[in-house]
Amino acid sequence: MGSKLEKYRLHEYPVPETMLAWQLSGAGFEHVGVDGKPVRIPVPKPGPREILCRVDAVGLCFSDVKLILAGNDHPRIKGRDLVANPTRGGHELSLTVAAVGAEETGTYSIGQRFMMQSDIYYKGRGMAFGYVFPGGMSEYTLIPTEALHGDEGSYLIPVQDVVGRAAAALVEPWACVEAAYRIGARTAPRAGGRVLVVNAAGGAAAPDGLPPDAEVVVLQTADPKQIVEAAKKDGVEAGASQDLFTNPDEQPGFDDVVFSGAGADAREAVEAALSVLRRGGHLCMLNCDELPHEVTVDVGSVHYRDIRIVGGASIDEAYTATTRRELLGGGTAHFSGAAGPMGQMHVQRALEADEPPRLTVVADIAADRLKFTVDHLTPLAKERGVELVGVNPQDFASPAEFEAAMIEKTGGAGFDDLVLCAPVGALVGPLVRQAAANCVLNIFAGVPIGTNAKLDLDLVAKRHIRIVGSSGSRWDDMKDVLDMVTAGKLNTGLSLGAVGGLAQTLEGLRGLKAGRFPGKTVIYPAVPDFPLTPPHEIGAAVPAVGAKLGPGGVWTNDAEDAFLEEKIRFPGE
């Protein structure tokens, strides 16, 4: 390690009075920085229960783009005046402690390395870093007392020096991928919850299998108006607009709606039932003949409100038929819209699983990104004995022809696992038609609540297709992924699509929106200016770095050290 890098690693130099930062002062890319450049602002001084961290690396996330495009209207900062009180994006972070508040000296010290779980909760309130608190698109960032002493303790996670700075920054998106395979299944109607039983064929009896302490309402008709009326609480109607942060027990609606004997003509009643589910609610189709094939489902609610649809001959069968979380070992998996950065992580994770799928199909309409993804991950697929196939839907004459070709790749059985990596709600319906029995369909790329799609409910119920969704990650997810990186069990370098200097942050965000790079973009704020460059091309500009890349031009810790040794600039230089 060079002396310059060692000085940087330990932060053996004074904290400057000012720093460059990409402040967000309104909606739109034109309000990031000033005239397309970062602004110079004072470096914040930590209070007694705060610390100041240098930003070693920051990954650019599409969530940052959503924040920029929404500005004041973004739900995490709604009502904030960004002109008077600007914020900064940047929550995928690798940090080094640069200054410590008086009351934190026994816990933190200069030179310590951390990453951050950005979903901070303090006294019950969500206060996300990179939104409420200015994030890491700057040379330094203040870690407030809310992050150090939150409801779950400290939201900082220690990082060992064996982990590279980009590798640490990429733990956060990788943790979001990991969390998608940790979604637990409710295996019975909610104990103590509210249950609506809709006996479509008449009758006043509730089915066996309901919790004895549940509040049960029975309707002897599948009248949509009566379903909506039954869901009211204190005169308030249920609906998808329910506050995600409100206790479900305080919301109108039901935890479970059990339909008994519904037929193919029950579409409106089923849609009404879906609309009255509380957060985490389940629609159970019990003892039904042919169900409606084109039911309008709010797939945004599946993702963000944990709405589930189950079916079977009994309540036990309906709730327990498909409960697995992981990809089916030796099965078939289709990753839709997966040639982007996050999709590549899903595919890499599948290939590296202890028991990977035997067939992994990546579908995407971006031909160049699709080719890169397949070429990039084919060596790993061959090593693991997995058939990796790339398919472009636009190569087919019609969507129906594409669907038929996909099912044919599975031998006609359909896919055991389907993962949607593109935020396109209209793709959920076609994916349901590609599902095998006991398939898990994961809507990973979140679409807003209120995004409707037509689903074949007959297939969902009778094939026991489990449709889930996830958003973000928790501290434990990040710690587990960091442990894998530290132990050398996960190479996040495969996910890196480009590196750049601080001056290139805005260009990187625009490139992210446009899909310019197939992998993640990581910015090094201590490097003032370096063009956005894919790792495999960096050797032409910096030969010393190119010599340290891994096979196939993959970013490594040694390449990062060589890059920083040559390109970092200390304050005042």
Residue 512 has a pLDDT of 94
Q: Tell me whether residue 153 is exposed, middle or buried, using C-beta atoms within 10 angstroms of its C-beta: 0 to 12, 13 to 18, 19 or more.
A: exposed
Q: Tell me whether residue 60 is exposed, middle or buried, using C-beta atoms within 10 angstroms of its C-beta: 0 to 12, 13 to 18, 19 or more.
A: buried
Q: What's the CATH number where 83 sits?
A: 3.90.180.10
355 to 34, 281, 321, 327: CA distances (angstroms) = 50, 32, 21, 9
Q: What's the CATH number where 222 sits?
A: 3.40.50
pTM: 0.91
d(CA 213, CA 462): 29
Residues 24 and 122 in one domain: yes
Q: What's the CATH number where 409 sits?
A: 3.40.50.720
Of the three residues 271, 298, 320, the one that is the final residue of a domain is 320
Phi then psi dihedrals of residue 219, to 5 deg = -110, 140
The two three-digit tokens of residue 484, written as one number: 């894998």
At what angle are helices 171-179 and 341-352 packed, to 10 degrees?
70
The pLDDT tens digits of the residues spanning 333-345 come to 999 999 999 999 9
Q: Quick check: is 146 in a domain? A: yes
pLDDT bucket at 261, cuts 50 / 70 / 90 = confident
Residues 479 and 441 in one domain: no
Q: Quick check: is 457 in a domain? A: no
The two three-digit tokens of residue 158, written as one number: 């220690």
Q: What is the mean pLDDT of residues 179-197?
A: 95
Start-to-end C-alpha separation, the chain:
21
237 to 117, 195, 234, 241, 547: CA distances (angstroms) = 35, 16, 9, 10, 64
Residues 242 and 381 in one domain: no
Q: Quick check: is 397 in a domain? A: yes
Residues 20 and 160 in one domain: yes
The pLDDT tens digits of the residues spanning 139-165 come to 999 999 999 999 999 999 999 999 999
Of the three residues 288, 320, 352, the one that is the final residue of a domain is 320
Residues 16 and 147 in one domain: yes
Q: What domain range is 352 assigned to?
A: 332-447
Residues 223 and 303 in one domain: yes
DSSP string over 369-413? HHHHHHHHHHHHHHHHT-EEEEE-GGGSSSHHHHHHHHHHHTTTS
Q: What is the mean pLDDT of residues 414-434?
A: 96
pLDDT beyond 80 at 110: yes
Residues 6+ apart with CB under 8 A from 2: 561, 565
The pLDDT tens digits of the residues spanning 516-545 come to 998 999 999 999 999 999 999 999 999 999
Q: Quick check: is 463 in a domain? A: no
Q: Quick check: 475 and 152 in contact, CB under 8 A?
A: yes
Of the three residues 274, 292, 320, the one that is the final residue of a domain is 320
DSSP string over 227-281? HHHHT-BTTBPP-TTS-TTS-GGGSSSEEEEEEES--TT-HHHHHHHHHTEEEEE
Residues 409 and 554 in one domain: no
Q: Quick check: is 455 in a domain? A: no
Q: Quick check: is 412 in a domain? A: yes
Residues 290 and 348 in one domain: no
Residues 481 and 383 in one domain: no
Residues 251 and 350 in one domain: no
What sign results for the dihedral spanned by CA atoms 558, 560, 562, 565? negative
The H or E element containing residue 304 is: helix 299-304
Residues 150 and 284 in one domain: no
d(CA 42, CA 340): 36
Q: Quick check: is 19 in a domain? A: yes
Residue 264 has a pLDDT of 85
The pLDDT tens digits of the residues spanning 475-527 come to 999 999 999 999 999 999 999 999 999 999 999 999 999 989 989 999 999 99
Residues 227 and 276 in one domain: yes
The pLDDT tens digits of the residues spanning 308-324 come to 999 999 999 999 999 99
Give the chain's domain count: 3
Q: Quick check: is 159 in a domain? A: yes
The H or E element containing residue 524 is: strand 520-524
The two three-digit tokens of residue 499, written as one number: 């590196």
